[in-house]
Amino acid sequence: MSSTTFTEITEPFLRFARSQRPQIDEALERLTHYDGDCPDVLREAIRYSLLAPGKRLRPILVLMAAESCGSDPRRAMPAACAVEMIHAYSLVHDDLPSMDDDRLRRGRPTCHVRYGESLAILVGDALLAQAFEVLSAGITPPARALACCRRLASAAGPCSLVGGQVDDLRASSMAMGPAELERIHRRKTGALFRASLQLGGIVAGASPSEQEALTSYGEHVGLAFQILDDLLDIWGNPTSLGKSAGKDAAQGKPTYPALLGEAASAGRAEQLLAEARGAVDGLKHAERLCALTWYVLQRDH
Ligand code: GRG
């Protein structure tokens, strides 16, 4: 597909992202003023990490999922913020010396480099807790807030994000095949994508078939996103990525390109994204969700 066609085909997503990103940032900004009992240095470090210029892809997915089921996306803003808080916490902890030991994130020194390791751990702890406060206070009616809390807790928990991270940390010392790698990424990266779609659906009061479509879309996009992240680690440059590149190979980590080769990995990502589009085919307003799959395929950061 030519680059002109890519521009056209991604536009419905890009337009939505351009309009929603400032609103997401404003909401996150408001949520991190805190009262006088929050130590100034903690407030500053939380805002340093959370408000740093990320793509806000997961919160945008929450809003798009709500919209695709006929809801005003503004109703889903607390869920969008909660998901971004979990994502930011996971990045801060993943960057720690005891984990991935990264010094650059979102184009800035990582949280522990700037504020020290203990504070970085506590920034993650604070964001993890606050995500559930934001959901329980901001989503109505209460039954939907409870369902959102349950989904997000499950996606962040031992069988998903944390479990995937544990297996990922052990991965460099283990021989593994594509199936085991996929199992790690379904939990480490995919679970939060899936939860983003599910939370948007819950807020919108999605029917079971709509929820099923959103769940399948989230799983496929999440996995494709991770495969392309592996490819960007080879192809990308640190300036546009805002993080160090080439680390996977240096650490001997199993990745899709290492196991399948670069062309086959790109092919697998394309196939997953086509399946994602197929999953939401029947939704009333799936145009932006479809456009996002093309964006994921050609993103450079
Ligand atoms: C510490 C419990 C715990 C989990 C960490 C998220 C994670 C698990 C590790 C991050 C490492 C990593 C590079 C994962 C690959 C995919 C991914 C999550 C990339 C970062 O997401 P982007 O590109 O980041 O959406 P921005 O900064 O744009 O929000």
3-state secondary structure 156-176: HCCCCHHHHHHHHHHHCCCCC
Length of the chain: 301
pLDDT of residue 6: 79
- Positive/negative CA dihedral, 15, 19, 22, 24: negative
pLDDT of residue 3: 52
Which domains are assigned to the chain?
3-293 (1.10.600.10)
278 CA to centre of own chain = 21
Count CA atoms closer than 13 A to 178's CA, side-chain side: 11
Could you tell which of 94, 240, 243 is best to mutate to test the pocket of ligand 1, judged by most ligand atoms within 8 Å of the CB?
94
On the question of a cis peptide bond just before residue 97, with omega within 30 degrees of 0, the verdict is no
Q: Which residues are CB-neighbours of 71 under 8 A, at least 6 positions away?
A: 200, 203, 204, 205
21 Cα: distance to centroid of ligand 1 (angstroms)? 18
CA distance 84 to 67: 18
pLDDT of residue 173: 66
pLDDT of residue 245: 64
Q: What is the pLDDT of residues 38-65, one digit of tens each?
A: 999 999 999 999 999 999 999 999 999 9
Q: Which residues are CB-neighbours of 96 under 8 A, at least 6 positions away?
A: 112, 117, 120, 121
94 Cα: distance to centroid of ligand 1 (angstroms)? 8
Nearest CA to ligand 1 atom 29: 54
Ligand 1 pocket: which residues have CB below 6 Å? Answer: 54-55, 57, 87, 90-91, 93-94, 106, 161-162, 165, 188-189, 226, 229
Could you tell which of 90, 91, 299 is best to mutate to test the pocket of ligand 1, judged by most ligand atoms within 8 Å of the CB?
91
Nearest CA among 249, 271, 268 for reference residue 258: 249
pLDDT of residue 186: 95
pLDDT of residue 253: 78
Q: How far is CA 190 from CA 73, 78, 153, 156, 226, in A?
A: 22, 21, 14, 11, 8
Nearest CA to ligand 1 atom 20: 91
Q: Which parts of the chain have pLDDT scores under 70? A: 1-4, 173, 236-246, 249
Rg (CA), the chain: 18
pTM greater than the 0.85 cutoff: yes
Nearest CA to ligand 1 atom 2: 162
pLDDT of residue 223: 96
Atom of ligand 1 nearest to the CA of 89: 1
pLDDT of residue 1: 52
Q: Which residues are CB-neighbours of 19 under 8 A, at least 6 positions away?
A: none
